[in-house]
Each structure stands twice: as C-alpha cells, then as structure tokens.
Structure 1
Amino acid sequence: MKVDKLVKEALSFSKMEGVRSLSFDKYYYGSKEVYMKVSRTILIISLIVLVALGGILLFYDEIFVSPKQTNTIISEKAESKEQVEEIEVKQPSQIDAVVTMVLGDVKVQNILNIYDLEVGYTLKEGDTIITSSDSECEIQINKKILVRVSENTKVSFHQIALSVDKGKNNIVEIISGSLKSAVKDLGKDSFKVKTSTAVAAVRGTKFSVSVDEKNNTKVVVSEGKVEVKVRSKVMQDLIQQLPQETQDVDDSFGGVVLVEGNSIVISDKEQAKLDSKLSEVMKQKESIDEKTIMEVRKVGEKVASNIKLNKKPSSLFDLDAINSKVSKNLISTGEFVKVRFELAKGVKDVKLFINDVEIDKFPVVRIFEKNKEYYVKAKSGKKVLIDDKMKFNEDTKVVIKETIELKQETKAEESIVKGEKVLNFGAKVVSGYGRWPVYTQKYIFYTSSGVSIFDGDRIKNLNLRGNSYSVYGNNVVLLTKDQNDYLVVKVADINGRILGEFNLGEPTKGTLVIGRAVLIDKNVFVPTIDGLYIVDIKTGDRKVINIGSIYSDVALIGSESVVCVNEIGEVYIVNSSGSYSKLSQLSTTTVRRGIVASDSGRVYILIGSSMYILDRSGNVKSVNLGIRAESEPIVYRDKVIVAGDKKVLVLNRDGIILNSIILSGNLVVPPYVGNGYIVVSATDGVHVYDIDTGNEKNRYDIIGSISFIYGKNLYIIGENDTKVIELK
C-alpha cells in the first residue's frame, strides 16, 4: 500500500519533492522501486513526444496548409497555361493603346529606340510620342478614349497600366505641347492628363490640355466635366521615397470642376505657393513614412483651399479647335480596318471630314471600325467632292477626285518611263532617325530586315540588326541592347563579318543613346546621356568621358577627333585618347537632339529649326532655317543641303539660303545628293532637282522606298522590284 501511494505521489512534481524528503532508512526498498518505474515512464513519454514532433515537421505542409494555400502550391507546381496567361496580363509588354492615324512626321521613342510612328502600332510601356511641326497623330486607349496629339508635342504613356482586380488606370503625361481628348463612359476606369504643374481627371467628356513655353497649363472643356488640381513637386519627391507597393498616393491638391465652356490656366506660381508650405512641414520631420505622407496631404489640402483658381469662359476658337479634332463617334470598339485617303492628280487644297473631324493632310491612313457607318465629306474650296455615308469591311484606298473611286488597297500606279529597266530585287526600307540610308562613293547602305548594301546591280543583305547604325569606310557600327537592357556595340565589315562585339555592361543599363556613333581607326565613340563612351574594338577596353549628357550625333572633325553637343549646348572636341576641349557654347541651353555634320574646317549642327555653323576657332553663326530638319545636313562641294517640313533648302557654307525647293509630298527618306542633282523620294513620287538652280529636272510617279543615282542611272528601289532609269 505504501508503494502504491508513493507511485501516485511521484507523478506530481511537488509530491515527488515530498518523496525525496522521506527517511531513507524507512523507505529504502520501496523508494528504489518507485524511482525505477518513474524513470521508465519518463523515458517512454519522451520518446513518444520526439517521434510525434518529427512526424509533424516532416508532414507540416500536408497537415497545416489551408485548402487555399494548397491550391496555390499546386498551381505553382503545375504551371498550367491559364496561370501563365494571367501573369502576362498583370505585367504586359504592350498597353491597350493603338495608333489610329498619323499626319506628318511623328516619332515614337522607347529607351534606345526612336522610330517613325505607324498606323496600327500598339504602344508599349515607356513609349513617348513626339510630333514635329505641322504633324499630328491620334491614339485610341482601351476602346474608350481617343487622344489627338498636336504638333510640336511630346507625350509620355509610361503610366498607362492594365489591372485585372480593378478599373484601368490611364494616365497620359504631357512633357510639352498639347493634346485633345474625347472620352466615352469609363465605368470603373479612370483617365487623367498630367503636366508638371497640374492634373486633369475626367469621366465622359471632350477637352484639351496644353503646356506653353512658360510652363502654364491650360485646360479647356467642350463637353462634360473635368476636375483640375495643382500638382506638388514636394509630394512627388516624398512618394518616390516610399516603398514601391505604397507609392499609389495622389500628388495633387485642391481642385476646381470645369463644365462645358469653361477653361482654366494653372501656372507654376500656384505650385510654388503649395510647395513652399509643404517644404516647411517637411523640415520638422525626421523620417518619411505613410503617416508623414498623410500629415503632409492634410496640410496640402488646407493650403490648396486658399489658392484661388479662376475658371473662365472658353473662347469659341478654343471650343471649335477641340470639336474639329476629336469625336467619340470615331472610337472603334470592334475589329478595325485601314483606309487610305489620297488625292487624284490635279486635285488640291482639300479638307476631309470624317464624322465632322477635320483632316487636311494627304495621303492619310486611318483606322476604321469594320462595317461601321461613317459620314465622310471632302471639300475643295466651295466645291464638294464627297458627301456620303460609308462602310469599310477590308483595307481600302479612297481616291478623292471629281467623282470618287473606291477600291481595294494596291500599289500606287506607276508611270512607265521610256528606257526603263526592271531588276528583280526590292526591299521595304525601314527608316527613322539612326536608320536613314547612308550614301558613300561606292555603296548605298540602308536597313530593311537588316543592314543591306547596294553594289551595282545587286543587293547584299548583311543580316546585321541593331537599333541604330552608322558607316565609316567599309565598316558598319551598330548599337543595340541585350536582354538585360545593357548597351551593345557591334562593328562589322561590308561582308557582314563581325569584327568586334562589346557589351558595355551594368553601367549602361537603361541608358539612352540620342545620336549616331563614330568609328575612328580602332575606337568607337558612342554618345549617351551618361557621357561619351570610347570603346577600343581591338582590346574591348572602354572609358567614359564626362562632358555632360550627349544629346547629339558624334561627327568626325579631322582625322583623329570627333565633335558632339551636350544637353546645355556646349560643343566639345574629343580625340581617341579621351582628351577633350570645349569648342564653343551655343545660344540654346536646352538641346534634346542635335544632328551634326562636318567638313574639313566647319561643323554644322541642326537643333530644331536652327542651324549653327562653327569654325575651328569656336566662332558660331546661327541660321534660322524656318523648317524642322528631318535628317543630318548634307555637305556637298560648296553647299549644304537640309530637308524637312516638305522643303529642301540649299545653302552655301556660310548658311545663306540659295534655293528653297517646295515639295508636294512628304519625304520618305532623306534626299540623295550627287552628280549635281538632288533626288527626293516622296509620298507622291520621285523628284530630281538641279542642285545649282533648284529647278525640277524630272519627276517619276513611282513610289519607292529609296532613290539614288549610280553611274548614269537613277535607281528607285521599291518593295518588290527596282526601276533603273537612264538620266538624260
């Protein structure tokens, strides 16, 4: 009985302590037996616990993971087609924005690439649209928004994104210039137009937003409602310091609602008032977190409520400018087709109206919704050429003349010239800045599927691809990007053999190259916004010359040096060793693309509509050309030829305009200059002009990708064949 009692007491810690206090002599044998049993019991319990814990750890996922988590794990392992597609939707390479019309010279820029914008192009994240003088384009976003980008405008689409969980957040940012928009009912979607000083948020409306040279933002509403707020630079800086996942914070304050017929102008003065107060608040903060952001927003709203934003009645001119450019009725929600409108011979000064939206440049290609009815009207002065309702069910060409002709899209009619010879090769030339044809004494270089060379009566494709290229002697220099967005420089000979390929690595990730590179002996000079890179194609060594962000071509000057322009208009001469000197300072301090050419003693720099002529002493002469140049100046004998805005200018070396050639069509590629002629490939045919008089010598109604003189013949390379015409 005593032993049983002791066993029960041994199972309790406190009672076991009591057992240990009993007299050893009295309970010796009983205590010994109890301790042995207790020890075995504890050992068995410990082993059971250890085995149980091991099993739990081994099968933890199967035992404790919830059904929802289990499904996620299974999905990740399965990697089914449905899951892959869902990831692509969340992180698209393209955005739901398509180019529906292009008028004149419009470019699309994305990192290294600068291309001509084409109808049907789907915008990618990071795209910036750039329009030149007398040029416009139209873009449709998410089948609910139509944007007409005006001339001399730069617009960024990098903040347009797709979301599967909520409405689509569409934000367009105007860097400079103006746009007009027509917006259908957005539902859960949103649409905002930002400038550096303001943001305009809309639902269903028609309105315009513009930024002038003084950074004033003007908003005009012709239909519906628009809320306009003042943006804060201080808030933008704060948001950038937050973790990426918490950056979805509004950087604008206050607000005034504009209705039909209202307009408002917001200057940087309103922004400065707001930021002055917010800066004072931030001086008292030691750290930046979400709480700080909320406090700053509270102060900002209070300050903004005291900033007077004066809305005014819009002028009839402003309202008409919107209504004549955009219409909700032109938004395509279904399958679309391309329709080309062009003028017949002898027909001119035509204005075309599609659902009352005006188009006055021809030829023009526009997207239409398949089988949807459109009201089309064309006028020449008081004479009506078209007044009808039309539907299009396939790609179509409409020729505007006394009586219209409607037919399926075909190649333009070609006039057969006596003595013409047809070669059985052709090419679809890819043009654009950095991809223009290059004419040398022996070869013609151009880009199609790769870099191609015309040599006599044959074309050789080198199968070389890059974002831009340049030619020096018998070598081709190409610039491109790898899969990591690092800059790559390639050098090849005229047989396509790679002489060197150099990846410039991490420092060049995302860097922007504005102009063409240059090859001197064994060194390639590459202009970037991080400075001027010099790459040795023999050893692979490279160095960066820190003379500012280079926003121009690099051009040879002498036999061992190059000349380039940085973003503030400083002109530098750099030699192969990397030593440099400042040649001059241009009058402009906002260079965004400089086109540079040189001869033995002078440098010619095109920026916008100005040409700067520099001698080796750094003396500068500025010439207002009156046109925006589309390619580099061509130095030929004692003349300089510049083309752009439907004009070709012939100047002497001092910048005096000798001849101004007015073109009836738009340039397809820069003109060829040689043999005393200027050959222009335009959208209405090929024109040959005398370089000394500016008189047109010949005109051929043949639409070619590129035209030039080789020997005594004129070559016109088309997509399918090449015409050879003897010059007389």
Structure 2
Amino acid sequence: MQVCHKIPKKSYFCTLCFFCKNFMRDVEVPMKKYSKTVVLFFALVGLVLTGCKGGGKDQAASDFMNDAKLVFSIGDVQVKTGEIWNAAQQQMKLVQGNEIKTGAKAQCNIAIGTDSFITVKESSHLVIEEIIKNASGTENNSLELKVGRTIVNPKKLLKGDSFRIKTPTAVAAVRGTKFVVESQPGEQMKVAVVDGKVELSRRVPALDRVDDEVIAKSEALTMLKEKVDEETIVIDANSSAFIDNKKAEAENIVINDIVAEHVETIKEELAKEKIAEKKEEMKEVQVADNQKAPEDKKEEKSKKFLKQEKDITTALASLDIMKKEKEEVVQIKIQEKIETRYVEEVKELDKAIDQAREQKLVEQKKEGAVTQLTINSPVKKSSIYVNSKFIGYDTAVLKPMPGASLTVEVMAPGFGSYKDEVTLKEGENRVLDVQLMEKAKLTIISPVSNSSIYVNSKFVGKDRVTVQPGAGKKIEIQVVSRGFKKYTAEVVLNTGESKEIKVELEQEKLLDRLNWSQNVGSQVLVDPIAYGNYLLVVAGDGSVVAMNREGARIWKANLKRGIESTPVIHEGNAYVVANNGDFYSIRITTGQISWKNKMFGALLFGSKPVIEKDTIFLATSFGRVYAFSTAGKELWHTDLENGVYSSVAYNNGKLYVGAEDHYIYAMDAKKGNVQWKFKTDSRMVSSSPMISGKTLFVGCYSGSFYAIDTDKGNEKWKFKSGDSIFSTPLISGGMVFFGSNDGNLYALSADGGKMMWKLETGSKVKSSPSTNGEFLFITSGNQIYALNMKNGGIQWTHRFDRSVKTSAGIKGNDIFVGLDSGEVASVRNSLKAVYR
C-alpha cells in the first residue's frame, strides 16, 4: 500500500493493491503451474508503477518551479510555509504552497518569474497555488485569492504562457494587462481592468478537485462543467465585472454537497473497470499459454451509480447556472467603468515595479551578471535581425557586449516593420517587447459581377479585392462594369486601419417612373402602409391584402365589411377597423386574425388608430374615444356625444380629438377625462390634429387652419384657405404643409402662420403631404408631385390614367399610391438604378 500512495493523484493505478489481492483470489492456481502467467502479470504491474513514477520524473525534467520573491512589505505580513506562519522578510524567496496574509494596515509586493508583479493589499489572504516555468521559457502561474484584494501587473504573455487569479467563485485569466481582483465573502467578487483585457470565468471549486476522467463518466457532471465553462466573459480596459459572492458561494456549497458522494461512486466504477481490463489482459495471456481462462460476467454500471446520476441531475436542474441558455452569461455582470482607487493602486504598483527593476540591475552589477537582450514579437513567423543579421523567428536571446550599439529590426508578413536602436549597460537584462502595427488594409466590394477594380490606376482584381496600400497617402479607387457609370472614390487610411468599401454602381440608362401596378379587385381609398418588406393595402370591399415591395401578393384576408379606416402596424400586427365597428388585429406575416373586438361606431374618412407603447387610442364616428391594450382588452372609453371623423393625436400623456361639434378636446390618456376644449369655426373631417412642440395644428371643413397652444387650449394663429380642408398637416423644417379643396398645397411658417409658398395643382387636394426628408410628396387628381420643401419647386410629376385616392406611402426609393380603378401603384422617386 505504501507504493500506491506514491503514485500521482490523477492516476487510478492506486487501485492495483486491491486488484493484486483479487487477482490471486480469482485465479486460484498453483504458482508453479502458471509461473509464466504470474511472472508476466507482475512484470506488467511493475511497468505500470514505474510508468507512474517515471511520469513525474519526466515532468520534473521539463518543468521547474518559477522564481518568486517578496520584494516589499509594510505592516503585519505573514507567510505560511508548511503548517507554520512566520513574519515576512524583505527579499524572501516564495515557493508553491506558500500562503500570504496581510493585516488591516499592511500590504506587500511580490515578483514572479520574468517580469510579473502583484500587490497583496490589506486584510487579504493569498495562496501561491502554482508557479511553473518550463525549459522553453513559458510560464504558468496560478494564485488563489481567498479573501481581500490584489493588484496584478503580469509580464506580457507569450505563446504558452498563462497567469490566473482564482477566487472562491471565479477565475480571472490574463491576456497581458493590468487589473485588480477583489473578493469579499458574502459580498462581491470584482475584477477591474485598467489596461488590456481579462477573461473572467465562473469557478466551482468542487469541479476543480475532480479529474476529467471522472467528469466524463457522468452526464450530469459533464453538463454542469459545460454550463460553468460557458459562464465566461472578456473584460476590456476601463471596465469592470462582478459576481454576487453570496449567491455564487451558496450555489458552490450546494454543488459540493450534491456531487461529493457521486464522485466517490464514479471512482469505484472506474476502479472496477480497471480490474476488468486487467483480467481481460490476463485471459489473453492464459489463452496464449494454452490455459483455460476463467469466465467473467461483463460488469455494468451499478444501481447505486444510476440512482445517484438521476438524483443529482434533478438536484442540479434547480440551480441558476443550469437554467441559462447556451453561451448565455447570467452570473457575471459588466460595468462600463472602474473605480478611481483601482487606477491609483495600479499606478502605485507601477512605481514599485520600476524600483524593483532598478534594484535588480544594481544586484546584477554586484554579482557581475551577464548582459542579455531578449526580443519578443507578438506575431508568428516574425523575422528578427540585429545589425542586419538574421538571428531567428518570434523570440531571440542575445548576450551582447555592454555599450555596443544594436540595430534591432523585426518584420512579419502583413505588418509594418519595427526598427529600434538599443544599447545595454553592463549586467543589464532587458526584454524588448516589439509592437508590430498591421498594415493598412482596404477591401473593395462591387455588387455587379465581372467588375474591374483599379487602385491608383492599377488593375488589382475583379468583384472583390483586398489590398494593403501605404498608410497616410491618398488612394484612388475606380470600379468599371459594362452598362454602368464608372465609380470613383478617394480614401486615406491610417496605420493599422482596415476599411471596407461597398461600391454602389449606377446604370447608365434611366428607369421608368412607374415601377409596377397591381389590381386588388376594388378601389383603394385609404393609404397603403409599408412595413419592412410588406405593403398592406385595404380595398373598398373589405379585403386586406399583403404584398411584397415588388407587388406580388403574399396573402389576402376578406373581412366582408366595408373599410374606410387606414390600418396601423405595430410589432408585426396590423390593426384595422371595419365600418360596422369590428376592430381586428391581424398578423402581418400570415394574415391570420389574432383577436377581434367590437366598438360603438366606426373609423371613417381614412382615420386610423394611434399606438403609444402598448396602448391603442382611437375615436369613432359615434363620438366614443377608446383605449385598448395591444392584446385587445378595453382599458377605458369616454363619450364625447359628437361624431369624430379624423384620427386622434397623442402627445406627452394627452390625447387630442377633433369632433363634429367644432371642438378640439384635450384628454388625459390614462383615464380619458377631458382637460380642456377649444372651439373652431367648423367641424373636422379627415384632417387630423398634428403636434409639434407645444403647438397643435389642424384644418377645418370651413377652410380655416388653426395653431393651438397644447397646454392652455388657446389659439396661437389662424389661416384661411379658399375651401374645405380634408388634408392632415405635415410639420417639417419649421414649416407646416397641408392641402385644400381650393386646389392648392400650402406651406406656412409654423411659428406665425405666414404663407411661405403654395402650389396650384388644378384639382382638389384632399390627400395629406408626406416626405422622405428630401422631397415633399402630394397627390391631386390623377397626379403625384415631388416638390422642393423650401420653395415648392416641382422636382418631378407622374400622371396616372385614373384618379389617385390616397396619400403617398414611402419606403426607400418606392412611392405607393392607391387608385379608384382598384390598382395599387409603385413609382420610383429616383430613376437611377443603383446596385448596392
């Protein structure tokens, strides 16, 4: 048994003593008769045990303990070696297994390996878990902060290096950076990154103590480990992250209690499997020896194992970490800032590092240390030259003469070259961490196949190319394709900048104004509504039709009732009111009715619902004002006792409604009670109130156009047009636009009502103006106009064969209108065919 105790922890050959005893019992044969078999068996045992020991020796040959030294301490700092705590001594050597405790007003600085430093702050407890350096120079350092705070400034990590700080609930893995780790039981575990990046992962100590072979044997433990491993984020500079230690520690305790017994059961199962494997090997030896081997039954997983597996699967399912989705992080929270004190503590450590390095140089001089220069490049396959002589790739170590002038050059494909002049003092050991800047990269993508791409007049490829031009210089780009206008552009890139240019090519031949038209079976009286790639059209016969933007029908729903209301689309649902008062919610993707409700009255003259957050407001022809949830539940209603023939307006918690009794009503949007009312000189039909700032604008059947104060309900100004106004106003750029039955489109100043310009169309203007931010669009008679918003100048017009009955709906370059012939038409704003 003593031999087995010397075998490394992660080997399961310590079960061999048990196996030896059982083997002799099971075989039960005279030693002489089976001497060859027995000798071979014990030779195998000897090889196994030797292999276990040999592994340790091999590891010792390639890995050795890294240097660590306590370079500074102040106050009560204790170091534990074995089971004994002693006061810390300046420059004392530290080894794996040492523990450091600091008092309430104490701290210490520790140097680890080549150039890594940490500060252990007051009231802290740190364990040096692992400090390993192998023959190639790579370092693997792992520290455990049981409680308190540590400031970390590791050396720049090279390939194969690692530096980790563990806490009871997390692991912070370094990516070459400066950061702070703080952990207080029952409070928070926090990581604050001052420079560089840190990978922060959730830690469950119970899993640290379990070998991968054991975990792989259990589906429950494998799932738990996967969930824990997924709880990982990367913290950038000037950011911090934290874990609620109280919750995480409680979860760790539960996990430990759940898995502890099961792990022992799994080890028993593995031991049985090892024994079975050895017995099988002995059978093969006996058969080769022409002896009859004893028969063994195939061992299956025990009932104990299966029951435990089921029980812990159920128990683990209740934990927060098991409920999260794949790659979702639920227990680590990011904060886009760090506390000033952490930054100051990092600066304090930087000063201490400089002092330690100076002290090291002094000591090296006293000892007659060798002058040494180490050159590290972060880029693979970097070529390193010193004084124009190639000396190696990626990392090089030189021992030059003190005072000699060295010209260091490093080059790598795709990167700008590095050059520096270096002179070392006697005994100086300097590490030169080279910074290589990636060359500027330019990617040019053409949307048209077989396009020729030129950079600075030189052909570089077709359709998609990536080039690495010089930084800081003007780069001329040309893309040429048959049938398209030549594309030209100029760019200047900074060092290391990557830029992608997606070219837009314009066809040389202009397109037709009319894009397409489709008949929906009945005249279209209300505005077509564009939503994503959908175009929703309501026909006079009660049909609701969804098309794509190319005019192809996707679905059609027949509500079998006339519809004069304009639909509204919100979060994938279209809300439509039929003339009999039926209120529908229809899925825009399928045409299926989500819900239906009944109202007192209808929405007429193209009026529509208004949605604010998840509340729908609308007023009916019978004078009832409603508030519904988007799920179709009525929240409240108020009766104005006079018909409403236009849409309501919402602004800042109030509803504004124009009624047949000539009044504008201001109502509380939460309860529906009237707060004030303003009397106009006529009723409002189709023309709905619109609000900008604290001013409400509305047109009346009498031809009067009002500006009203929304707070007090007072008139600000009034304008008189030549006939009835059915047009809902548009407010943009300090002007208000509306049409009148006198045939004019008016543009007034919003602040005073002064007419800025008007357009005479020759037909009644019942539609409402709309804009794409550049042009103003209005329909009148059988025409659509695109106008300059500032002066009313006509940019283009298009005449249809039939009368236009709707306002213009806009989506990108497409303008949609409905005609009295039952057609929906799409016209182009720009006739340039641009490929993107």
TM-score (norm. length: structure 1): 0.31
TM-score (norm. length: structure 2): 0.28
Q: Which has the higher contact order (CA 8 A, sep 6+)?
A: 1
Structure number, greater radius of gyration? 2
